[in-house]
Amino acid sequence: MATILVVDDAKFMRVTLGNMLTSSGYNVVGEAENGAEAVEKFRELQPDLVTMDITMPEMNGIEAVKKIMNEYPKAKIIMCSAMGQQKVVVEAIENGAKDFIVKPFDEVRVVDAIRRVLGS
């Protein structure tokens, strides 16, 4: 069972995404509410995949992707963005993110993206 770290500054979004992932058979091993915490949790947990929000306090998702990918080049990160953030999503992918999902989350799209990135 794949392990996933869920990163979003909104508790509601972490819970929503976590519930979708758990009901689809994934193991949510941790949560983080900003990019700095995401980097720390990644080091600690080394999950199979990370879902990463873009806009967060302290350190945004782009900076967190850069840091994680610098230390762990094989990390698998999926960006979570609101509509209208295409430019930022492109930047995230250029820095190593493997895919993106758009908020509000569609469970089928989320699970498809995760399966594709994990290669399962």
**Does position 86 have pLDDT exceeding 80, yes or no?**
no
Query: What pLDDT does 38 receive?
Result: 98
Which residue pairs, CB below 8 angstroms and at least 24 apart, start in 104-110? 105/13, 105/16, 105/17, 105/20, 105/80, 107/20, 107/24, 110/17, 110/20, 110/21
Q: What is the mean pLDDT of residues 87-97?
A: 90
- Cβ partners under 8 Å of residue 12, min gap 6: none
Query: What pLDDT does 83 receive?
Result: 67
| pLDDT tens-digit map of 45-68 | 999 999 999 999 999 999 999 999
Domain boundaries, the chain: 3-118
Query: What pLDDT does 22 receive?
Result: 97
CATH topology of domain 3-118: Rossmann fold (3.40.50)
| pLDDT tens-digit map of 3-41 | 999 999 999 999 999 999 999 999 999 999 999 999 999
